[in-house]
Structure 1
Amino acid sequence: MGIVSQEAIKQFQALMDQVDEEPLKRTFQNVHQGYLVETFGRFLKAREYNVVKAHKMLMDCLNWRVQNEIDNILAKPIIPTELYRGVRDSQLIGLSGYSREGMPVFAVGVGLSTFDKASVHYYVQSHIQINEYRDRAILPSASKKYGKPITTCVKVLDMTGLKLSALSQIKLLTIISTVDDLNYPEKTNAYYIVNAPYIFSACWKVVKPLLQERTRKKVQVLSGCGRDELLKIMDYASLPHFCKIEGSGSSRHSQNGTDNCFSLDHHFHQQLYNYIKQQSLINESVQPIKQGSFHVDLPEPAAEGTQIAETIESELNKFGNGNGVSDSLDGLKINGD
């Protein structure tokens, strides 16, 4: 049962038509951006096409958004700029370009993200801001440019450099994954894993059965930096910087700031940061800008997410302890949205 039926969409629409609270209606508009059918389809897919469960999931999402003022998060800059630069240097994610079908291509430096320059709330804030900017600015713009609904993205995950010391960050990564699973379901069309080290096959073997089937089908492990395979779905200019040179791996310092899509100097992050600053200035007369993180209720990880995190941790520890490998192992973490 992989296709959303028109009847399910009609039932979902009828349930949502009963929502009359203005805050919920307003935040729902920020979620669907005019693409109701696609939005209903995402939530139905996330709940195995059960209309009642999908409706509950969407209502829980809307209530979370209202209670945590998510609609205002794009007017809450992380200041000063150097603090945000620290976040960008340790939470490696960026927009490298677009696929030939118009989907945004997000690069994620899984292995080299250290999450050690700020508190957990700043990293969650930054992650949600990128999600919201993607959904409220990037995807609507792409839809207009390509003349069709574009409501999902592609992610290229670079596995270079995950160290055993990063195991302490699995809890944070699980929180971020849970935020995505519950509130931004089915926003990723495909995951492409590149620069996968020898340990990857062992981790993937034990993690893969724990993933839901729809997530497993999205994951493709590419050879080396994945350049040749990725060029089948995107132009060279849209390749993440770590995919452009075979064997180069990923490094936050390997490219200049304008080419390294992780860097605050990259045009995507400059546009995002300037957008947030402009939005904050619009609201400044109402509420002065204050330094400090935007606190969001951190969800309890679902049983599945906890099991995956524990399995990854156990497998990496097994390699570290059993094989005498030092603090330089590579491994895997997938955000299963």
Structure 2
Amino acid sequence: MVQKYQSPIRVYKHPFELVMEAYERRFPTCHLIPMFVDSEVLEETESEDGSVHNVQRRCKLDVDAPRLLKRIAGVDYVYFSQENTLNKRERTLHIESHNETFSNRVIIHELCSYSAHPENEDWTCFEQSASLDIKSFFGFESTVEKIAMKQYASSIKKGKEIIEFYLNQLEEEGISHVPRWTPSLDAPSSSVTTKPVCATPKLLQLELNDVTNQPDDQMENQTGTPDDKLDADYIKRYLGDLTPLQESCLIRLRQWLQESHKGKIPKDEHILRFLRARDFNMEKAREILCQSLTWRKQHQVDYLLETWTSPQVLSDYYTGGWHHHDKEGRPLYILRLGQMDTKGLVRALGEESLLRHVLSINEEGLRRCEENTKVFGRPISCWTCLVDLEGLNMRHLWRPGVKALLRIIEVVEANYPETLGRLLILRAPRVFPVLWTLVSPFIDENTRKKFLIYAGNDYQGPGGLLDYIDKEVIPDFLGGECMCEVPEGGLVPKSLYRTAEELENEDISLWTETIYQSASVFKGAPHEVVLEIIDAASVITWDFDVCKGDVVFHLYHSKLGQHSSITTPGGNNVQLIDKSWTLGLDYSMVESPLTCKEGESVQGSHVTRWPGFYILQWRFHTMPGSASTNLPRVDDVLASLQVSSHKCKVMYYTEVIGSEDFRGSMTSLESSHSGFSQLSHATSNHSQSSSMISR
């Protein structure tokens, strides 16, 4: 496989002629390059008018390779052939070199060029590229490739330093100007012409944009413009310190996009994020980047900030927002997850609206990173997220909500890699390990390493918030003095909930997967759902809404399933418990019954202790009449009207989670308070709701 390398444009703020004078001092040897042992001129020619000077050299290199490898190869030195073409008229120098040693086994080809800066004639540009093709090398192909990569990276890094060393030497000798070449009056004109190889360096183009106030969109124009090539100073100023090989990957991937991608290409910062996400593996980074570009185009994500209008329910109840920046200048996003009614938001908006809101947050984060890069004068490519979990409890483990969260994580991980610099999780309660166990497998390993988790209130001491956030910007609800405008959240009113039928009409929605089922509950004919549990210590979870009437919810266990007709229900209002069964003998009640009124939403979970069959039952509830008075009460009248209908309706969702999915978090789950978890009118006045867990 041919390995290719491309360096960014390096700019010397000195005239071309002075740089050429410094370049010539590298020969015949250079003490700054220990591996460069010697060189000899094989041939030297000049055009008739003296404008073009051609030199062919043979260079002797002592490659930094293991002694054993040199003995196996039978050589101590490696020889390269170099041809330099200096065009004084065009002010360019082209350097082409290739290896003579082992040329039948290894092919190394390098191109370098110096040229006058296209925008400033008193500056000089330098570019360098190389290719390596190892056909065979005594079984040491991988070792030779690593050595060549190391040598190439070292030469790029030292190249600019060497020229600057000799430029300083010339200055110390009092040589600060070398006159440009001019043709003599009697010399014949030369027919040799050379096209300038240097495009306008990106840094200078950005400076011009700043002066003219030209917009810099998220996506750049396609190939052809002079500022497509990257400048080394621009990379350091706007992208950060990269190794020569990392710079090469960025430039080559950018060039590939210019040549093959139709339309616009991403900004350099965007390309760099995908390279970092794949440890600068060009092929892997190119694959996920192209997939993301297709996704962005399909969903018009580039225009999301201009077209997306956040629904009012999000503005009122989504407990997240931007808040100043951290000590490194990264934008700071605060999410008060423990105060958020995740179920209410999903039920009121649907998954798709939540996803678009999260995408708009990520797009806004990219924009803020660019702004902070300009403000702080250093590259800022990611942001910090602070998540406050005070108030987190079992109602946040609502399974449809968790599934929506997992989908959002999947989309963000695929399209916004390396945008999260640090995640600070504060006031993590005992139930947090359960949520973490559910979502952590879907988070990239590199991202998980950026998580810092603090339990309790000890988060402002050593290693806490003050290490990452200035004291004056710590939010007031975390004990700081800075007022934070992030909404406090609260329960989303049920009047804003949308029905499953309404959400099914959307193109993409959580509810199109038929997560919820509807059931009618008649007087004398309860609705039951049977779940077969193979492994003890599994977790049964449920969530249901009482749409009409009042019901009583039970959870039973039976070991007689294999000898009875218990089967998975195939229709509505199916009764599975045989009327001949005796409670406490044939089946047992594993949770106390719960009376649920019309309009209530109920969530709960149960850790199973035995294998067998577990039965969830919704039974019609009849309110008992009052014997204290002969006059009818209003409640009794309403109850009689309800009884006359003889029908209730529930919409439910249930799931069994294997104990292995908790991986050590079962202890935290079992330590929660016992009882039913209800996010309903009955519990709306409490700051936290309990969870139904059997011990």
Report the TM-score, using the length of structure 1 for normalisation.
0.66
| Structure 1 pair 323–237 and aligned structure 2 pair: CA distance change class (3 A) | closer
Aligned twin of 1:325: 674
Aligned equivalent of 2:333, options 106, 112, 120? 106
Asked if structure 1 preserves the Cα contact closer than 8 Å seen for 2:325 and 2:331, the reply is yes
- Whether 1:7 aligns to 2:248 is yes
Q: Indicate how the Cα distance of structure 1 residues 239 and 8 shifts in structure 2: closer, same or farther if over 3 A, else same.
A: same
Q: 1:208 to 1:76 in 2, by over 3 A?
A: closer
Are positions 1:59 and 2:290 aligned together? Answer: yes
Q: Is the 8 A contact 1:320 1:329 kept in 2?
A: no
Q: What is the CA distance between 1:218 and its match in structure 2?
A: 0.7
Give the alignment of 1:138-177 within 5 angstroms: 138-166=368-396, 167-168=398-399, 169-177=401-409
Does the 8 Å CA contact 1:241/1:259 hold for their aligned counterparts?
yes
Kept after mapping to 1: 8 A contact 2:319/2:335: yes
Match of 2:318 among 91, 102, 106: 91
| CA-CA distance at 1:311 after TM superposition | 8.6
Structure 2 residue matching 1:5: 3-state secondary structure: helix
| Residue 484 of structure 2 corresponds to residue 259 of structure 1 | yes
Indicate the SS of the match to 2:467.
coil
Amino acid paired to 1:135: L
Aligned equivalents of 2:404 and 2:440: distance in 1?
Answer: 21
Cα 1:129–1:202 shift into 2, 3 Å: closer
Change beyond 3 A, Cα 1:122–1:210: closer
Moved more, 320-329 or 160-169: 320-329
- In the superposition, relative to structure 1, how do residues 7 and 227 fare at CA in structure 2: closer, same or farther (>3 Å)? same
* AA aligned opposite 2:478: C
Q: Describe the shift of the 1:152–1:262 C-alpha distance in structure 2 as closer, same or farther (beyond 3 A).
A: farther
- 1:227 paired with 2:445, answer no
Q: Distance in 1 between matches of 2:454 and 2:247?
A: 36
Partners of 2:378 and 2:331 in 1: CA distance: 14
Report if the CA contact (8 A) 2:434-2:669 is conserved: no
1:158–1:193 contact (8 Å) kept in structure 2? yes
Aligned residues: 265
Q: Secondary structure at the match of 2:286?
A: helix
Q: Find the residue that maps to 1:262 and give its secondary structure.
A: coil
Matches within 5 A, 1:191-270: 191-200=423-432, 212-225=444-457, 226-228=459-461, 229-244=464-479, 259-262=484-487
Cα 1:60–1:241, aligned 2, differ >3 Å: closer, same or farther?
farther
Q: Distance in 1 between matches of 2:412 and 2:658?
A: 20
Q: Which moved more, 1:47-56 or 1:236-245?
A: 236-245
Deviation, 1:170, is 0.6
Native 8 Å contact 2:317 2:488 kept in 1: no
Higher strand share: 2
Q: Relative to 1, partners in 2 of residues 1:237 and 1:318: Cα closer, same or farther, differing over 3 Å?
A: same
Shift of 1:232: 2.2
Change (3 A) 1:206 1:77: closer
Deviations 1:60-111 (A, max 9, x none): 11111111111221222436xxx42x21343321112101211011111222
Deviations along 1:130-162, one digit per CA (max 9) or x if unpaired, are: 2112212x1221111101121100111112223
Q: Which residue of 2 aligns with 1:335?
A: none
Cα distance, 1:68–1:235 mapped onto 2, change above 3 Å: same
3-state DSSP of counterpart to 1:195: strand
Opposite residue 97 of structure 1, the aligned amino acid is: H
Provide the C-alpha distance between the structure 2 equivalents of 1:237 and 1:51, rounded to a whole number of angstroms. Answer: 43
- Counterpart secondary structure, 1:227: coil
Distance 1:207 1:67 in 2: 27
Larger RCO, structures 1/2 (Cα 8 Å, 6+ apart): 1
1:270-296, Cα deviation, whole Å (9 max, x unpaired): xxxxxxxxxxxxxxxxxxxxxxxxx89
Aligned to 2:214: none
Query: What displacement does 1:317 show?
Result: 8.0
Measure the CA separation in 2 of the matches of 1:243 and 1:324: 26
Alignment of 1:300-315 (within 5 A): 315=662
The DSSP-based 3-state class of the residue aligned with 2:428 is: coil
Distance apart, 1:199 and its partner CA: 3.5
Identity %: 23
In structure 1, the partner of 2:222 is none
1:23-62 matches, cutoff 5 A: 24-25=264-265, 28=266, 32=267, 36=268, 38-62=269-293
Equivalent residues of 1:193, 1:220 under 8 A apart: yes
Give the alignment's Cα RMSD to 1 decimal: 3.7
The code of the aligned residue for 1:259 comes to C
Larger mean Cα displacement after TM superposition, 115-124 or 92-101? 115-124
Provide, for residues 9-36 of structure 1, a one-character-per-residue CA deviation record: whole Å limited to 9, x for no partner: 23322322224422x43xx2xxx3xxx1
Cα drift, residue 179 of structure 1:
1.7
1:129 and 2:360 matched: yes
Q: Which moved more, 1:51-60 or 1:234-243?
A: 234-243
Please, which moves more after superposition, 211-220 or 312-321?
Answer: 312-321
Give me the whole-angstrom Cα distance separating, in 2, the residues matched to 1:48 and 1:297.
33
> Measured at CA, do residues 93 and 318 of structure 1 come closer, stay the same or move farther in structure 2, by a change above 3 Å?
same
Aligned residues of 1:105 and 1:238 also touching (Cα < 8 A): no
1:179 aligns with 2:420: no
**Structure 1 residues 75 and 311: alpha-carbon distance in aligned structure 2, compared to 1, 3 A threshold:** farther
Rounded to whole Å, the distance in 2 between the matches of 1:151 and 1:66 is: 22
Residue 257 of structure 2 is aligned to residue 16 of structure 1: yes
SS at match of 1:222: strand
User: How far apart are 1:263 and its partner, in Å?
Assistant: 6.1
What SS is found at the alignment partner of 1:124? helix
> Which runs of no fewer than 5 residues in structure 1 stay unpaired?
247-254, 265-294, 300-309, 331-337
Given that residues 413 and 443 in structure 2 are in contact (C-alpha distance below 8 angstroms), is that contact kept between their aligned partners in structure 1?
no
Give, as a single letter, the amino acid of the residue that structure 2 aligns with 1:227: Q
1:318 positional shift: 7.5
Conservation of the 8 A alpha-carbon contact between 2:673 and 2:690: no
Q: CA deviation at 1:211?
A: 5.2
Gapped runs of 5+ residues in structure 2?
Answer: 1-241, 490-505, 511-656, 678-688
Higher helix share: 1
Are the structure 2 counterparts of residues 223 and 15 from structure 1 closer, same or farther at C-alpha, using a change threshold of 3 Å? same
Shift in Å, 1:227 = 3.1
CA contact (8 A) 2:336 2:488 kept: no
Asked whether the equivalents of residues 253 and 282 of structure 2 are also in contact (C-alpha less than 8 Å), the reply is yes
